Amino acid sequence: MYGSGDSEVRALDGVDVSFEKGKFTAIMGPSGSGKSTLMHCIAGLDALTSGSVFIGDTDLSILNDKQLTELRREKIGFVFQAFNLIPTLNAYENITLPLTLGKKKGDSAWIDRVIDTISLRDRLDHRPSELSGGQQQRVAVARALASQPDIIFADEPTGNLDSKTGSEVLSFMKRAVTDLGQTIVMVTHDAVAASYADRIVFLADGRVAGEMFSPTAQKVLDYLKHLGE
Amino acid sequence: MFRLAAKMTLARTGRLILTSLAVILGTAFLSGTFVFRDTINQTFDRLFADVFRDVNAYVRSTTFLELNFGGEQRAATPIEVLDTVRGVKGVTSATGDIQAFARVIGKDGEPLGSEGNGPPTFGGIATSDSAGLWSITEGRLPIGPNEVVLDSATADNGEFVVGDNVRVVAVRGTREFTLVGVASYGDISSPGGATFALFDQPTASEFLLQPGFVDAILIEGDDSVSDEVLARRIDAALPADLKLETLTGAEITAEVQGQIKDVLNIFSTFLIVFSYIALGIGSFVIYNVFSITAAQRQRENALLRAIGASKRQVSRALLVESTAMGIVGSVIGFGIGILLSQLLNALLKATGFEVPTQGLAIAPGSFINTLLAGVLVTVFAAWFPARRAGRVPPLAALRDTALDTAGSISRRVVIGLILVVAGGVAMVAAMNDAPIQVLGLGVLGVFSGILVLGPAIARPVALFIGIPVAAMRGASGVMARQNAARNPKRTSRTAAPVLLGVALVTAFTALAASIRAEVRDTFGDAFSGDIALTVDSQGFGGIPLSLTDRIAQLDGVAQATGVGFTSVRLVDPSQATSSTPAGADQRGVFVQTINPATITGLFDLGVTEGDLTTLGSDGLFVNAGRAESKGWEVGTRLKVIRIDGVEVDAVVRGLMSGDTSFANYVASREMFADAPSPIFDAFVYIKVADDAVFDTVRDRIAAISSDAGIGTLQTKDEFIDDQAAQINQILALIYGLLGLSIIIAIVGIVITLLLSVFERRREIGLLRAVGMTKSQVRTTVRWESVITSLLGAVSGVVLGIVMGIVVVAALSDESDIAFRLPINETLWIVFISFVLGVVAAVYPAWRATKVNVVEAIAAV
At residue B789, the pLDDT reads 92
Q: Do B860 and A82 touch (CB under 8 A)?
A: yes
Residue B364 has pLDDT above 90, yes or no: no
CA distance A74 to chain B (A): 8
- Please compute the mean of the pLDDT values over residues B24-28 and round it to a whole number: 86
Chain B interface, best mutation among A35, A65, A83, by max B CB count within 10 A: A83
A13 vs A142, residue with greater confidence = A142
- Please compute the mean of the pLDDT values over residues A204-215 and round it to a whole number: 83
Residue A28 has pLDDT above 80, yes or no: yes
Q: Do B853 and A88 touch (CB under 8 A)?
A: no
Residue B116 has pLDDT above 50, yes or no: no
User: A185 is in which domain, residue-wise?
Assistant: 24-228
At residue A226, the pLDDT reads 77
Chain A interface, best mutation among B487, B770, B781, by max A CB count within 10 A: B770
At residue B486, the pLDDT reads 83
- Please compute the mean of the pLDDT values over residues B393-403 and round it to a whole number: 58
At residue A89, the pLDDT reads 85
At residue B51, the pLDDT reads 76
Q: How confident is the model at residue B146 (pLDDT cuts 50, 70, 90)?
A: very high
B404 vs B46, residue with greater confidence = B46
- Please compute the mean of the pLDDT values over residues B334-349 and round it to a whole number: 82
SS3 string, B417-461, reads HHHHHHHHHHHHHHHCCCCHHHHHHHHHHHHHHHHHHHHHHHHHH
Distances (CA, A) of B738 to A161, B271, B417, B502: 55, 10, 27, 9
Domain coordinates in residue numbering, chain B? 1-47+264-400, 76-242, 457-489+498-525+725-860, 536-710
Element (H, E) at B779: helix B774-811
Asked which of A147-161, A180-194, B182-196, B242-256 is least confident by mean pLDDT, the reply is B182-196
At residue B283, the pLDDT reads 82
Chain B's closest residue to A80, CA to CA, is B857
At residue B1, the pLDDT reads 55
User: How far apart are the C-alpha atoms of B562 and B339, rounded to whole Å?
Assistant: 48
- Please compute the mean of the pLDDT values over residues A92-97 and round it to a whole number: 89
Domain-located, residue A42: yes
Interface of B with A (CB under 8 A): 401, 474-476, 478-479, 482-483, 486, 762-763, 766-776, 853-854, 857-858, 860
Q: Do B772 and A69 touch (CB under 8 A)?
A: yes
Asked which of A69-83, A110-124, B296-310 is least confident by mean pLDDT, the reply is B296-310
Q: How confident is the model at residue B199 (pLDDT cuts 50, 70, 90)?
A: very high
Maximum mean pLDDT: which of A168-177, B656-665, B811-820? A168-177
pTM over 0.80: no
- Please compute the mean of the pLDDT values over residues B604-633 and round it to a whole number: 86
Distances (CA, A) of B80 to B143, B204, B241, B252, B825: 20, 15, 13, 22, 61
Q: Which residues of A touch B483 (CB under 8 A)?
A: 88
Q: Which residues of B touch A69 (CB under 8 A)?
A: 768, 771-774
- Please compute the mean of the pLDDT values over residues B33-56 and round it to a whole number: 81
Count of beta carbons in the 10 Å neighbourhood of residue A168: 18
B129 vs B805, residue with greater confidence = B805
Q: How confident is the model at residue B583 (pLDDT cuts 50, 70, 90)?
A: very low
Nearest to A88 among B483, B762, B766 (CB): B483
- Please compute the mean of the pLDDT values over residues B457-482 and round it to a whole number: 86
- Please compute the mean of the pLDDT values over residues B64-76 and round it to a whole number: 68
Nearest to A98 among B474, B762, B771 (CB): B771
Q: Which amino acid is at B276?
A: Y
Q: Which residues of B touch A80 (CB under 8 A)?
A: 766, 769, 857
Residue B154 has pLDDT above 90, yes or no: no
- Can you tell me the ipTM of this complex? 0.83
Domain-located, residue A36: yes
Count of beta carbons in the 10 Å neighbourhood of residue B763: 21
- Please compute the mean of the pLDDT values over residues B228-252 and round it to a whole number: 87
B189 vs A37, residue with greater confidence = A37
CA distance A178 to chain B (A): 23
CA distance B859 to chain A (A): 10
Nearest to B768 among A69, A81, A87 (CB): A69
Nearest to A86 among B766, B774, B853 (CB): B766
Asked which of A120-129, B479-488, B648-657, B739-748 is least confident by mean pLDDT, the reply is B739-748
Q: How confident is the model at residue B786 (pLDDT cuts 50, 70, 90)?
A: very high
Q: How confident is the model at residue B424 (pLDDT cuts 50, 70, 90)?
A: confident
Domain-located, residue A211: yes
Domain-located, residue A19: no
SS3 string, B300-316, reads HHHHHHHCCCCHHHHHH
Residue A26 has pLDDT above 60, yes or no: yes
- Please compute the mean of the pLDDT values over residues B748-761 and round it to a whole number: 85
Q: Do A73 and B768 touch (CB under 8 A)?
A: no
pLDDT in tens, B76-115: 888 888 888 888 888 888 888 888 878 888 887 777 765 4
Nearest to B486 among A70, A78, A88 (CB): A88
Domain-located, residue A13: no
Give the CATH number for residue A211: 3.40.50.300
- The CB-based long-range contact list for A39-43 (8 Å cut-off, 24+ gap) reads A39/A153, A39/A155, A39/A185, A39/A187, A40/B854, A41/A3, A41/A12, A42/A1, A42/A153, A42/A185, A43/A72, A43/A76, A43/A78, A43/A153, A43/B769
pLDDT in tens, B479-531: 888 888 888 888 888 888 888 888 888 888 888 888 888 878 877 878 888 88
Residue B817 has pLDDT above 80, yes or no: no
The structural domain count of chain A equals 1
Q: Residue B490's closest CA among B792, B775, B825?
A: B792
User: How far apart are the C-alpha atoms of B476 and B478, rounded to whole Å?
Assistant: 5
Asked which of A120-134, B353-367, B683-697 is least confident by mean pLDDT, the reply is B353-367
At residue B118, the pLDDT reads 52
Domain-located, residue A16: no
Nearest to A84 among B475, B766, B768 (CB): B766
At residue B490, the pLDDT reads 85
Domain-located, residue A11: no
Asked which of B285-299, B596-610, B615-629, B784-798 is least confident by mean pLDDT, the reply is B285-299
Residue A4 has pLDDT above 50, yes or no: no
CA distance B11 to chain A (A): 27
Q: Do B770 and A78 touch (CB under 8 A)?
A: yes
At residue B330, the pLDDT reads 92
Q: Do A72 and B858 touch (CB under 8 A)?
A: no
SS3 string, B483-520, reads HHHHCHHHHHHHHHHHHHHHHHHHHHHHHHHHHHHHHH
Nearest to B762 among A83, A97, A101 (CB): A83
At residue A3, the pLDDT reads 35
At residue B860, the pLDDT reads 47
CA distance A73 to chain B (A): 4
Chain A's closest residue to B484, CA to CA, is A88
CA distance B472 to chain A (A): 11
pLDDT in tens, B696-737: 888 888 888 776 667 778 888 888 887 777 777 777 777 877
Residue B194 has pLDDT above 80, yes or no: no
Q: Where are the alpha helices (DSSP H) in B52-112?
A: 81-86
Q: How confident is the model at residue B148 (pLDDT cuts 50, 70, 90)?
A: very high
User: How far apart are the C-alpha atoms of B47 and B133, rounded to whole Å?
Assistant: 11
Asked which of A114-123, B24-33, B341-350 is least confident by mean pLDDT, the reply is B341-350
